[in-house]
Structure 1
Amino acid sequence: MKFLVFLITLFTLNTLSLDIKDVRVAYRDAAHNNDKVTAFNNLVASVTKNDDVALVAYKGAAITMKAKIGGSIKEKKEFLKEGVSYIEFAIEKAPNDIEPRFVRIGVQENTPRIVGYKDNIDEDKAFILKHYSNIKSTDLKNHIKDYILESKLFSDEEKQITN
């Protein structure tokens, strides 16, 4: 019993020690470099659905990214399904939180059309455009700004909201 309490404490402390800024950087790096996907997964490995919704969404993104770097078709489908469940859980838990929606639109933009995980792009894009100016965290605002400016989903006119 003491060992179980120790393990739970260890995982809780590890999750508490996660810096969201580090997670955001790891997400961006993994999205641009397949060699960084494993490191991103390792960083968020201790995150559970009881943690902050942003961390839960990033864990979902990390798992979906594993689908593009290897494994059999069956493994890729399982990674995608598991990752999506984390992202959707985060949005269901906090539908008005911009960060999980930002994660979802990034994942949906970058998954192959054949997978069929593209249904929320317009909804999330509209949500981000509407709420971007209300983001209080400079780090998060810059993180989302970088995505908007790189994304093909946003028109030149829409990208102007980042100015």
Structure 2
Amino acid sequence: MKFLIAIIFSVFINVQTVDLQKTREAYKVAAHDADNVNTFFRDLQSVTKKNRSELIAYKGASIALKAKNTKTLKEKKEGFIEGVNLVEYAVKKDSNNIEVRFIRLSIQQNTPKILKYNQEIENDKAFIMRHYNEIKSAHLKMHIGDYISNSKKFSDADKAALDL
């Protein structure tokens, strides 16, 4: 019984120590470097649907990124669907969260068209454009701003409107 309590306590502590700022940085690195995907994925294993919507969305992104590097088409498809379902859950849980919408946008903009996961690109982009200047966290603003600055999906006019 003590062993079970110790396991539950350690899982609870582990979930509570997932650092959002470090997760953002890990996402940026994992999105550009396949070697870091496994670390990003592993760091989010303790996240559940009871956690903050941002962490749920990042966990979904980690699963989708990990699926990209699997061997078979079946594994790629199943992993991608599992990851996307978590991202969509996070959006439904907190649809006015700019970070969650940003995560979905970044996945949809980088998903091959054949997978048909691109229906919300314009809505998420418009949402981010409307609310970007309302972001209070300097780290989050920089994180999203860096993505927009380097994205070919945002026009020069979009970037200028956000002072990027």
Alignment TM class, shorter chain as reference: over 0.9
1:20 maps to a residue whose letter is L
Q: How does 1:76-87 map to 2 (within 5 A)?
A: 76-87=76-87
Count of residue correspondences: 163
Cα distance change on mapping 1:22 and 1:73 into 2, 3 Å? same
Deviation at 1:4, TM superposition (A): 3.5
Q: Is the 8 A contact 2:27 2:58 kept in 1?
A: yes
Instruction: Please name the residue that 1:9 is paired with.
Output: 9
Letter in 1 for 2:30: A
> How many angstroms apart in 2 are the aligned matches of 1:6 and 1:86?
28
Counterparts of 1:4-153 in structure 2, within 5 Å, are 4-153=4-153
- Identical aligned residues as a percent: 47
Structure 1 moving runs of 4+ over 6 Å: none
Q: Structure 1 unaligned segments of length 5 or more: list them.
A: none
What TM-score do you get using the length of structure 1 for normalisation? 0.96
- Distance in 1, matches of 2:152 and 2:113, equals 15
What TM-score results when the alignment is normalised by the length of structure 2? 0.95
**Which amino acid is the alignment partner of residue 128 of structure 1?**
I
Equivalent AA in structure 2 for residue 99 of structure 1 = E
Cα distance in structure 1, aligned partners of 2:109 and 2:154: 11
RMSD of aligned alpha carbons: 1.1
Shift of 1:2: 3.9
2: CA distance between counterparts of 1:147 and 1:31?
11
Find the aligned partners of 1:19 and 1:51 in 2 and give their Cα distance.
12
Q: Deviations over 1:12-67 (max 9, x none)?
A: 21111111110000000001111110010011111111001000000000000012
Contact residue 68 and residue 80 of structure 2 kept, 8 A: no
Q: Give the match for residue 156 of structure 2.
A: 156
